[in-house]
Amino acid sequence: MFNSKEQIAAAHERWQQQALWPSLERSPERDGRFMTTSSAPIERIYTPLDLTDHDYLRDIAHPGEYPYTRGVHPTGYRGKVWTMRMFAGFGTAEETNARFRYLLSQGQTGLSIAFDMPTLYGRDTDHPLVEGEFGKCGVAVASLADMEVLLEGLPLDQISTSMTINSPAAMIWAMYLVVAEQRGVPWTKLRGTTQNDILKEYIAQNEYIFPPEPSMRLVVDTIEFGSQHVPQWNPVSVSGYHIREAGATAAQELAFTLADGRAYVEACIARGLNVDDFAPRISFFFNAHNDFFEEIAKYRAARRIWARLMRETYGAKQERSWWLRFHTQTAGCSLTAQQPEVNIVRTAIQALAAVLGGTQSLHTNSMDEALALPSEKAVTIALRTQQIIAAESGVTNTVDPLGGSYFVEALTDRMEREANAYFKAIYDQGGVIAAIRNGYFQRELADAAYRYQQEIDGGEREVIGVNAYTVKDPLNIPLLAMDPEGERKQLERLERVRRERDNPLAQQRLAELRAVAQSDENTMPAILNCVRAYCTVGEMCDVLREVFGVYQETVVV
């Protein structure tokens, strides 16, 4: 038997008069605002009255059914749990390879490679502009020789590999492909993802090299090449993670990420690609912050928005083109240097939200990451956190267990409304690149970050160990120590590559890359030939710097 809206409203009024108001007189609610991590207000309770415009089959549906609010797979994690993909990379290729082997031995099911700042900016380790930056936030990869060592002994045809690289993504991906080629592993068997989301660099992370337009060309080149030659690879992972880390609210992360995804789809269609040939291999990357229910609602809204966009706006016909598949990483910006062991609890809550939101793969941050790159002990605890959720919590036993919650569904609807409002603001300015050049995204993130910090500084928002329950205990956890000889070894390998390679061939390949960059041809074949000739990341990026120029952000007040 179903109750009418009128009956529910009458019951709600009766509850307030007979139960709520007398209770508040006896015991008032805590002072302060009840709000999400994004500062959005939260009502006392949620009822069917908050879902009056809902149509179950239209807006929620069953798991594996359009618009995939409840997930893209009918069986959820009952068939296969998410890929446990711990982000790792530091110092030399040898050190990082050893960490990957350790993680695989501990039950990790996928690789995720972090690169150091010189590599991210397309510079070789010995370039004077990157002195002192070797290996601090990831592994140094300057040439194919480094990639060969990094992947030594790893079963490329049996595991999937994610690589967090953006401006030089085409070069790093080419190195991975050439290593597989050397081992006789067909590209058709390779599974993995290159982040390759250059738009979020201009919005949030600022690790760009070239101006937006030629950078978009490189992204489309990889998408086109992948759809033709590496069909199981995701050539771009549209990344909200860094947008959130820069201070965005959950709704901003959702909207700006999907707006970037739309920009890549439109660029590929403008290239002449059929949407169903490339859309199934566009993946996404989201943050998992502290607010448990807000994060779950964000993931559910993302799937629904993307499915509707792909089918109704871009005319995709294949079901897989409608799917939003995503990786999640717990929120690095939420970790505290104070009482670092408490970060284990934060990470567990965030990871559980990602799982209940239906993530396809997950990285859990380590307790020491506000202080250093993760130690072996810390990363093991982070991995065990995922394994406990999968094996012991019971949340994988049923599909979308929070589906139908009045609160979760109302939050999901609100996320969708707010995202659509942001889409309108972005497209009113002429699209993502125009909004980047206008400084729109940067202002939105700065305002959100400032408001959040004000709430902490004013005591309106508690951060345990920072402005609440503080202690002065000395740090007593082990921190990672990298090989002090690592940079010397890396520089020796780089010098050896330049000395022993066929240098006339390398220069010829770089000249060919320059000519292709000056044309409208796909750059991937020329980049692959440069990699096979052991041209370095810095040399290839320098060629493209000469052709495309270097982007300088203009401050717009």
In this prediction the pTM is 0.96
Neighbours of 365 (CB within 10 A): 27
- Side-chain half-sphere exposure of 75, counting CA atoms within 13 A: 6
Residues composing the chain: 557
Q: State yes or no: cis peptide before 504, omega within 30 of 0.
A: no
pLDDT of 52 reads: 79
Place of tokens 């549906």: 61
Q: What is the DSSP string of 104-163?
A: HHTT--EEEEEB-HHHHTT--TT-GGGTT-TTSSSB---SHHHHHHHTTT--TTTSEEEE
The whole-angstrom separation of Cα 145 and Cα 65 is 46
Average pLDDT per consecutive 10 residues, the chain (557 residues; last block may be shorter): 85 95 93 87 93 90 97 96 94 95 95 96 97 93 98 96 97 98 98 98 96 98 98 98 97 98 98 98 98 98 98 98 98 96 97 98 96 93 98 97 97 97 97 96 96 94 94 82 89 98 98 98 98 98 98 77
The whole-angstrom separation of Cα 557 and Cα 541 is 31
Cα–Cα nearest to 263, from 434, 439, 518? 434
Q: How far is CA 375 from the centre of its chain?
A: 22
Identify the helix (H) or strand (E) that includes residue 350. helix 343-356
Q: Return the percent helix, strand and coil in the chain, to nearest 5.
A: 55, 10, 35
What letters, b where the CB count within 10 A reaches 16 and e where it falls short, cover 213-251? ebbbbbbbbbbbbbbeebeebbbbbbbbbbbbbbbbbbb
| Cβ(135)–Cβ(92) below 8 Å | yes
Q: Domains in the chain, start-ordered, CATH in brackets?
A: 56-457 (3.20.20.240), 486-548 (no CATH)
- Three-state SS string over 159-188 comes to CEEEEECCCCHHHHHHHHHHHHHHHCCCHH
Neighbours of 459 (CB within 10 A): 10
Q: Which two tokens stand for residue 415?
A: 């996320």
Task: For residue 208, count CB atoms less than 10 angstroms from its CB and return exposed for 0-12, middle for 13-18, buried for 19 or more.
Answer: buried
The whole-angstrom separation of Cα 252 and Cα 243 is 8
DSSP label at residue 233: E
Task: For residue 337, count CB atoms less than 10 angstroms from its CB and return exposed for 0-12, middle for 13-18, buried for 19 or more.
Answer: middle
**In sequence order, which residues have a C-beta less than 8 Å from that of residue 190 and are 6 or more positions away?**
156, 157, 176, 177, 180, 230, 232, 233
DSSP label at residue 204: I
β-partners of residue 236 are 282
**In sequence order, which residues have a C-beta less than 8 Å from that of residue 20 and are 6 or more positions away?**
44
Query: Across the beta sheet with 361-363, what order do the strands follow?
Result: 233-234, 191-194, 160-164, 110-114, 83-88, 361-363, 326-330, 282-288, 236-239
Torsion, Cα of 132, 134, 138, 143 (10° steps): 150
Q: Which two tokens stand for residue 76?
A: 């959820």
